[in-house]
Amino acid sequence: MGGGTVKSLRVLIADDEAIIRLGLKTMLEEMGHQVVGMAADGPSAVRLAARVNPDLAILDIKMPDMDGLDVAEAITTRRRIPILMLTAYSDRELVERATKLAVLAYLVKPVKEADLGLAIELAMARFEEWQALEREAADLKEALATREVVDRAKKILMQRHGLTEREAFLSIQRRSRNSRRPMREMAEAILGARRG
């Protein structure tokens, strides 16, 4: 079948051709996925995505009123989800635009079930990697911000009490442990006390 290891997903389909929408719906349901919405044009797809919160969107790259890439951008601005793009042909400009969005896989029409299953697996795997990288980046940003605050607090303790850098760090760490508050909070309290 091609559904592989992907859990059951809530899928939005947007394509201006009814036969394509119905074919995709049938294949997705045979793979164990739930089609939570189908749209024939871009604006309808955006509205539907906001209402049904799909796990994955399958969008035709060429649709009336709003192309698939504009739809992808509108959907992912509100809530980031993986996007699988359908295309009847290759267009370099569209591919370049797609790489800047959350388009994680392409399917060429007519879509075969095996290709659809593999594309979904690929899109979901890439999306999970992307989310892990975003979490890691956020954690690193938070760690850096904490380190900067702790470093400023250490300098204050070093100046105020004539401590070495290590002693100042251990002082903040001890205060943090004794009060059961994060080191960043303790460092911010030291900085706040200096201002006050």
pLDDT at position 107 is: 87
pLDDT at 2 exceeding the cut of 60: no
Of residues 107 and 91, which shows the higher confidence score? Answer: 107
Mean pLDDT, residues 91-117 taken together:
80
Nearest Cα neighbor of 86 from 106, 57, 115 is 106
pLDDT at 185 exceeding the cut of 70: yes
Percent over 70 (pLDDT), the chain: 91
First-residue to last-residue Cα distance in the chain: 67
Whole-model pTM over 0.85: no
Nearest Cα neighbor of 107 from 85, 140, 91 is 85
Q: Answer yes or no: are the C-beta atoms of 172 and 157 closer than 8 Å.
A: yes
Mean pLDDT, residues 128-145 taken together:
92
Percent over 90 (pLDDT), the chain: 73
Q: Calculate the CA 9 to chain-centre distance.
A: 16
pLDDT at position 196 is: 55
Following DSSP, what letter does each residue of 129-159 receive, concatenated? HHHHHHHHHHHHHHHHHHHHHHHHHHHHHHH
* Residue 114: count of CB within 10 angstroms of its CB: 12
Domains of the chain: 10-135 (3.40.50.2300), 138-195 (1.10.10.10)
Give me the helix-helix angle, 113-161 and 18-30, nearest 10°: 70
pLDDT at 5 exceeding the cut of 70: no
Mean pLDDT of the chain: 90
Q: What is the pLDDT of residues 59-99, one digit of tens each?
A: 999 898 898 999 999 999 999 999 999 988 766 777 777 76
CA dihedral 145, 148, 150, 152 (to 10 degrees): -140
Q: What is the pLDDT of residues 30-60, one digit of tens each?
A: 999 999 999 999 999 999 999 999 999 999 9
pLDDT at position 17 is: 95
Of residues 163 and 100, which shows the higher confidence score? Answer: 163
